[in-house]
C-alpha cells in the first residue's frame, strides 16, 4: 500500500504540472485552436494522473531522488545537532524511537551503531508516515467512489420515477432526423420530468435525454428551439462524452486529496460544453446560432441551472450559470478554422504529449518495498496505538498556563462568564436534547452543556459520571447570581437534585489539562412550562434571545446566530435585522458581513439587505457576485438600477458589472446599462459583459446606442467587433446612429 501511494503521489504531482501547463496556455489555445482540440487535450492529463508511464527522461524520478536526499541530509544534521546539544555521547544508554529501541554498542563501536540507528530510525519514520498515509488514501478512494456511485444511483432513481415519454410528433420527428444525420445507431429515448431542472443526457450504456416539464411548457410551439437542445445532447451521446466524464471522476476518486484535480474537472466540464456548442455551430446558419444563444439564455433566466445534480454524472445543456458568458462569446465569435490552424494544433498536441511522458512517475523501489515488509510489524503497532488512544494526540497540545482557560478552573468569576477554551477535542461526542455522552475527551477551559432560562423556581436532577485520566475536571452549575456550585468533581456516578432560581442557569464542564474517558451527563425531572428556553451553547442562546427581542443585534455574532436558526425563525430574524438597518443601526454591517450570512438567509432577505447597503454606500467591489448569487438576482438588479438613477451607487463600474452580468435577465442587464454614465461603462465592458447576454436585437442596439449617447464615437475596428452581436438590420442602425455623433 505504501509503495502504491508513493506512485499515486508522483502521478498526482506530474498530472498537476501538466494540467497547470494546459491552463496556462488555455487563453491562447482557446482563441487560436478549436474548442474540440482543447477538450480532448485533457485526456493527456487523465493519462498522466492514472497511468504510471515512464520515459528515459523522467522529471518525477529526478525530483524524487534529489528531494529525498535533501530531506535526509537535513534530518541527519538536525538529529546530530540535537544529540550534541543534549550532551549525548557514543556508547550511552539505549535511544528509544516509538516502540523500537536502537541499542548502542560498546564505546569502541558506538559511533557506527549510533549512525546505523539513526538511519534505521529515519527509515522507520518514513515508512510509518507513508504507510499511514497510504491507508488513509485507500479509504478515501473507496469512500469517494461509493459516494459518487450512491449519488448517481439516487439521482437516476428519482428521475426515472417521475419521467414521462415525450409524445409530441414534431419533436420526435426532428429528433429522429438529427440522430440520422449524426449517424447514431441506437435510438435515444426522450423523456420529460419534473425532477430535472435543465435538459440533460443520462445513462452510461443506454443513454436517455430528459427535458424539464417546465421548460417544455414554456417553449410550447417552439419546436425548432427544442430541437437545438436535442442536437446539443445528441452530440454528447455521439462523442461518448459521458464515458469521458466517468474517466475524470475516476481521477477525482484516486486523487481526492489534490485540490488541483477538482479545478481541472471544472475546466474540463466547461471545455466539454464549449466543444459541444462548437459542433452544433458547424451545422447552423447565423440566425440558427443566434437562436441557439437565446435558448441558453432562456434556460439560465428560468433559474434552471442544475445545482442539485452538480456532482452527478450527467451531460447538461447548462452546467453552471457562471460559464454562460464564455459560451455566449464562443457562439458570437464562431468561425471555422483553416488548414494552417489544424497543422499547428497537431504540432501543439504532440508537444503536450512529449511533456506528459517527460513528467513521468516515480518508480517503485524494490529495496524500499523490502524494507517496508521488514518493518511491517513496527508500522502496524504504531498505527494501532494511534487508533486505539486519543491521548497520543493530547500529548502535543499547547497549553498556555497563564491564559484565561487554564486559570479558569480555580476562579469562579471566570467560570461564571462566557465559555472559553484553548483545547477542546472529542472522540465520538454525542450531545442530545437532555444528555451528553463522550467516549474520549480533552478540555482546557470551560464549555456550556445547557443554558436553562427558567420563568420561576423549579427543580432539576443531574446525573453524571466520568473517568479522569489526567488533569482536573468538574461539572458545575452557574446560578443567575453568578455563583458557582460544583456538581461532580470526583467522577463517580451520582445524581444531584438542584433547585433552579428564576433566570439564567448554566450547567458547564470545566477542565484544566483534562483528559477523560466515558463521560455521561444528563438532566431529567423538568416541566417544560417552567422554562422560557433551553439552549445547547451560548451561540444558540444568543440567536434566539435576539430573535425574541431580549438582546440587541451584534454584527460580529450575526453569522453564529443565523447558523442555529431554523427556516421559519430565520425569516423573522431577518425582518428584525432589516428594521435595525433601515433605522441606521448596526454601523459595522457591510457587504462582507452580508456575504458571510447570505447562505443562511432567504433570497429576498439578502436583496433587502443589499438595498440598505446601497443606500449606505457599503458594498465592496469584490462582493457583488456573491451577493447576486445568494439573493433574488432580479430584485437586486432592480434595487441597483434605482440606486444608479438616484445617485446612490456612484462607485459602481464595469468591474462590478462583469461579476453580475451572467446572473441577471436580459431586461435587468439592459436597465442597469441604461442607467450607467460615461465613467461607469467602457467599451470593453460593453463588448465582453453586455452584448453576449443581450443578443436580442432591440436590447443589444439600445445598449450600444446608449454607449454612443454617453459621448463615445465607435471606430471602424470597434464596429467590426460589435457586428457579431447584432443582426444586419440592427448593425446598420448602429452605424447610422454612430455616424450622426461624429
Q: Which residue has the higher pLDDT, 313 or 105?
A: 313
Q: Mean of the pLDDT values across residues 493-509?
A: 93
Q: Mean pLDDT highest for which of 58-62, 192-196, 522-526?
A: 522-526
Q: Mean of the pLDDT values across residues 293-317?
A: 58
* Residue 387 scores a pLDDT above 70: no
Which of the residue ranges 299-313, 649-663, 691-705 would you say has the lowest mean pLDDT? Answer: 299-313
Rounded to whole angstroms, what are the CA distances from 177 to 188, 230, 290, 577?
12, 11, 21, 57
Helices (H), 512-632: 538-547, 558-563, 567-582, 591-597, 603-616, 624-630
What does the pLDDT read at residue 136?
A: 86
Strand locations in 373-502, DSSP E?
A: 421-431, 435-454, 458-478, 484-488, 494-500
What is the percent of the chain where pLDDT is above 70? 73
Number of residues written out for the chain: 742
Burial of 527 (0-12, 13-18, 19+ CB in 10 A): exposed
Q: Mean of the pLDDT values across residues 22-30?
A: 76
Q: Mean of the pLDDT values across residues 364-390?
A: 33
What does the pLDDT read at residue 427?
A: 77
* CA–CA–CA angle 37, 39, 44 (5° rounding): 90
What does the pLDDT read at residue 654?
A: 81
Rounded to whole angstroms, what are the CA distances from 553 to 549, 563, 581, 590, 619?
9, 15, 10, 14, 20
* CA–CA–CA angle 552, 554, 560 (5° rounding): 115
pLDDT tens string 630-655: 899 899 999 999 999 988 876 788 88
* Residue 240 scores a pLDDT above 80: yes
**Annotated domain spans of the chain:** 163-331, 404-536, 590-741
Task: Say if CB 256 and CB 136 are below 8 A apart.
Answer: no
What does the pLDDT read at residue 632?
A: 92
What does the pLDDT read at residue 96?
A: 36
* Residue 513 scores a pLDDT above 50: yes
Q: Which residue has the higher pLDDT, 188 or 116?
A: 188
Q: Strand 435-454 relative to strand 531-535: parallel, antiparallel, unpaired?
A: antiparallel
What whole-number distance in Å separates Cα of residue 57 and Cα of residue 75?
29
What whole-number distance in Å separates Cα of residue 384 and Cα of residue 516?
20
What does the pLDDT read at residue 394?
A: 46
Structure confidence at residue 696 as a pLDDT band (50, 70, 90): low
Q: Mean of the pLDDT values across residues 2-31?
A: 78
pLDDT tens string 523-565: 988 888 889 888 888 878 888 877 777 778 887 778 777 777 7
What is the percent of the chain where pLDDT is above 90? 18
Q: Mean of the pLDDT values across residues 141-170?
A: 83
Q: Mean of the pLDDT values across residues 98-104?
A: 34
What does the pLDDT read at residue 444?
A: 93
Which of the residue ranges 459-468, 700-709, 718-727 would you say has the lowest mean pLDDT? Answer: 718-727
Q: Mean pLDDT highest for which of 215-224, 508-517, 683-692?
A: 508-517
Structure confidence at residue 55 as a pLDDT band (50, 70, 90): low
Helix then strand count (H, E) for the chain reads 30, 14
CATH for 404-536 is 2.60.120
What does the pLDDT read at residue 95?
A: 33
Q: Mean of the pLDDT values across residues 28-46?
A: 76
Structure confidence at residue 75 as a pLDDT band (50, 70, 90): very low
Q: Strand 315-316 relative to strand 208-212: parallel, antiparallel, unpaired?
A: unpaired
464 backbone dihedrals φ, ψ, rounded to 5°: -150, 150
Instruction: Quickly tell me which residue has 463588448 as its cell.
Output: 687
Contacts with 1 (C-beta within 8 Å, 6 or more apart), sequence order: 131, 134, 135, 138
Q: Mean of the pLDDT values across residues 582-607?
A: 89
Which of the residue ranges 45-59, 261-275, 530-544, 614-628 would you say has the lowest mean pLDDT? Answer: 45-59
Count of C-beta atoms within a 10 Å radius of residue 506: 24
User: What mean pLDDT is reported for the chain?
Assistant: 76
What whole-number distance in Å separates Cα of residue 702 and Cα of residue 697?
8
Structure confidence at residue 92 as a pLDDT band (50, 70, 90): very low
* Residue 202 scores a pLDDT above 80: yes
* Residue 293 scores a pLDDT above 90: no
What does the pLDDT read at residue 286?
A: 65
pLDDT tens string 458-499: 999 999 999 999 899 999 999 999 999 999 999 999 999 999
Amino acid at each position: 500500500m505504501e509503495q502504491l501511494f508513493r506512485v499515486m503521489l508522483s502521478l498526482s504531482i506530474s498530472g498537476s504540472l501538466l494540467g497547470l501547463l494546459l491552463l496556462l496556455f488555455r487563453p491562447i489555445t482557446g482563441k487560436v485552436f478549436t474548442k474540440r482540440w482543447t477538450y480532448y487535450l485533457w485526456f493527456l492529463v487523465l493519462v498522466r494522473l492514472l497511468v504510471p508511464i515512464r520515459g528515459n527522461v523522467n522529471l518525477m524520478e529526478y525530483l524524487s531522488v534529489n528531494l529525498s536526499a535533501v530531506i535526509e541530509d537535513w534530518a541527519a544534521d538536525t538529529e546530530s545537532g540535537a544529540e550534541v546539544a543534549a550532551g549525548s555521547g557514543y556508547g550511552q544508554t539505549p535511544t528509544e524511537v516509538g516502540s523500537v529501541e536502537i541499542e548502542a554498542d560498546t564505546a569502541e563501536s558506538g559511533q557506527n551503531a549510533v549512525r546505523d540507528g539513526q538511519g534505521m530510525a529515519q527509515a522507520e519514520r518514513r515508512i510509518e508516515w507513508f504507510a499511514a498515509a497510504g491507508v488513509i488514501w485507500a479509504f478515501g478512494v473507496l469512500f469517494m467512489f461509493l459516494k459518487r456511485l450512491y449519488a448517481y444511483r439516487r439521482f437516476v432513481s428519482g428521475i426515472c420515477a417521475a419521467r414521462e415519454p415525450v409524445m409530441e410528433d414534431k419533436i420526435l420527428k426532428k429528433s429522429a432526423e438529427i440522430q440520422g444525420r449524426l449517424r447514431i445507431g441506437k435510438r435515444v429515448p426522450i423523456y420529460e420530468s419534473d425532477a430535472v431542472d435543465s435538459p440533460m443526457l443520462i445513462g452510461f450504456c443506454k443513454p436517455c435525454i430528459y427535458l424539464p416539464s417546465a421548460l417544455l411548457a414554456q417553449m410550447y410551439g417552439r419546436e425548432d428551439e427544442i430541437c437545438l437542445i436535442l442536437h446539443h445532447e445528441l452530440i454528447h451521446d455521439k462523442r461518448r462524452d459521458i464515458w469521458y466524464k466517468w474517466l475524470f471522476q475516476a481521477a477525482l476518486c484516486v486523487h481526492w486529496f489534490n485540490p488541483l484535480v477538482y479545478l481541472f474537472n471544472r475546466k474540463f466540464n466547461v471545455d466539454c460544453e464549449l466543444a459541444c456548442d462548437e459542433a452544433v455551430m458547424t451545422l447552423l446558419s447565423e440566425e440558427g446560432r443566434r437562436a441557439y444563444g437565446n435558448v441558453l439564455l432562456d434556460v439560465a433566466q428560468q433559474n434552471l441551472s442544475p445545482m442539485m445534480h452538480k456532482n452527478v454524472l450527467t451531460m447538461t445543456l447548462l452546467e453552471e450559470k457562471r460559464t454562460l458568458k464564455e459560451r455566449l462569446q464562443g457562439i458570437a465569435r464562431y468561425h471555422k478554422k483553416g488548414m494552417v490552424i489544424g497543422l499547428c494544433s497537431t504540432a501543439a498536441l504532440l508537444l503536450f504529449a512529449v511533456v506528459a511522458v517527460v513528467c513521468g512517475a516515480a518508480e517503485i523501489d524494490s529495496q524500499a518495498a523490502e524494507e517496508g515488509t521488514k518493518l511491517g510489524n513496527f508500522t502496524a503497532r504504531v498505527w494501532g496505538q494511534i487508533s486505539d488512544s486519543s491521548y497520543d494526540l493530547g500529548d502535543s497540545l499547547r497549553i498556555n498556563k497563564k491564559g484565561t482557560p487554564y486559570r479558569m478552573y480555580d476562579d469562579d468569576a471566570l467560570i461564571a462568564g462566557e465559555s472559553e477554551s484553548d483545547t477542546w477535542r472529542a472522540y465520538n461526542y454525542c450531545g442530545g436534547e437532555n444528555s451528553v455522552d463522550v467516549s474520549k475527551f480533552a478540555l482546557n477551559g470551560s464549555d456550556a452543556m445547557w443554558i436553562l432560562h427558567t420563568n420561576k423556581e423549579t427543580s432539576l436532577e443531574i446525573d453524571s459520571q466520568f473517568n479522569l485520566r489526567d488533569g482536573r475536571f468538574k461539572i458545575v452549575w452557574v446560578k443567575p447570581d453568578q455563583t458557582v456550585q460544583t456538581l461532580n468533581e470526583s467522577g463517580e456516578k451520582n445524581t444531584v437534585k438542584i433547585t433552579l432560581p428564576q433566570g439564567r442557569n448554566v450547567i458547564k464542564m470545566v477542565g484544566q489539562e483534562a483528559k477523560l474517558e466515558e463521560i455521561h451527563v444528563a438532566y431529567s425531572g423538568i416541566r417544560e412550562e417552567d422554562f422560557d428556553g433551553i439552549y445547547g451553547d451560548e451561540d444558540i442562546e444568543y440567536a434566539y434571545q435576539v430573535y425574541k427581542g431580549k438582546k440587541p443585534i451584534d454584527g460580529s455574532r450575526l453569522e453564529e446566530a443565523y447558523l442555529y436558526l431554523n427556516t421559519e425563525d430565520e425569516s423573522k430574524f431577518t425582518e428584525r435585522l432589516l428594521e435595525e438597518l433601515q433605522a441606521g443601526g448596526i454601523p459595522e454591517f457591510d457587504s462582507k458581513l452580508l456575504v458571510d450570512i447570505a447562505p443562511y438567509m432567504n433570497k429576498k432577505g439578502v436583496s433587502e439587505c443589499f438595498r440598505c447597503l446601497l443606500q449606505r454606500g457599503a458594498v465592496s467591489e469584490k462582493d457583488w457576485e456573491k451577493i447576486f448569487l445568494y439573493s433574488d438576482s432580479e430584485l437586486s438588479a432592480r434595487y441597483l438600477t434605482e440606486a444608479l438613477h438616484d445617485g446612490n451607487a456612484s462607485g459602481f463600474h464595469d468591474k462590478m458589472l462583469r461579476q453580475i452580468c451572467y446572473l441577471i435577465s436580459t431586461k435587468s442587464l439592459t436597465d442597469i446599462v441604461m442607467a450607467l454614465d460615461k465613467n461607469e461603462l467602457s467599451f470593453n465592458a460593453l463588448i465582453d459583459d453586455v452584448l453576449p447576454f443581450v443578443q436580442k436585437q432591440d436590447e443589444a442596439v439600445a445598449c450600444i446606442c446608449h454607449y454612443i449617447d454617453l459621448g463615445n464615437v465607435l471606430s471602424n475596428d470597434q464596429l467590426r467587433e460589435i457586428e457579431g452581436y447584432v443582426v444586419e438590420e440592427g448593425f446598420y442602425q448602429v452605424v447610422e446612429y454612430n455616424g450622426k455623433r461624429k
